[in-house]
Structure 1
Amino acid sequence: MINYIETILINIHQYSYTILVKFIDSPILHSMLSTDYKKKTKNTFFSTKKHTDSNWIPLKYFVFSILIGIIGLLIHLSVSMKDLMFTYIIYSGLILYGVIGTMQNKKEKERKRLTRE
């Protein structure tokens, strides 16, 4: 019974890793993260209403890091405790990077607004 559960966990881990690699290598993702895609689309999930570079970059990384974190949670369910802690630190760091980037973007917008007035 234990060997059966272990085999299932190993299969889940390999499958989730394959999904992660295919997701990162997918042309759709690359096109969404490229600057050409940003110029072609005026209003997308990855941009805000004002379509400028300062609005685009932190929000893009924030959404991307959350997607990586969700995929990472799938991997967390199927690896040992040692690997779990290592990957948890990496994914939480990515999400924190996205949050900090978004906060800095808001501060910069506020500073630009105040200098205009």
Structure 2
Amino acid sequence: MCGACGATVYPDPVMGNEHTLRNRILVAQTVSAVYAGLPGAPRISALAAGWSVTSATGSISLCQTVADIWRALPVGSASVLQQALEMRALAEEPSGLSVRVVALGLDLTRQRLLAGTPR
């Protein structure tokens, strides 16, 4: 729980100790940039206590961690998403929040491919 605002803070290794709205917006922009140009791109919005992921069909998922965002995203073709993530990883700075977001997305997408499940 946050001492300043009283909100519940969920442990998130990607976000670290900086659960600010600014960082949440950066995470939403990073994930949206990965999905730009892919069919069925979702809309990710930063909220005070997490994120909302709105699919192309209109279903909404509320997410508390960056891993929750990646798990909530629709994957029509995990191999296409993996290629988009790999290209984004090459474009990122070597350190920072965006590179951690992309690295987690790439790891979870690879797990999906190995498991043979689309989600």
Answer 1 or 2: which has greater helix percent: 1
The higher radius of gyration belongs to 1
Structure possessing the higher relative contact order (Cα contacts under 8 Å, 6 or more residues apart): 1
Answer 1 or 2: which has greater strand percent: 2
State the TM-score, normalizing by the size of structure 1.
Answer: 0.31
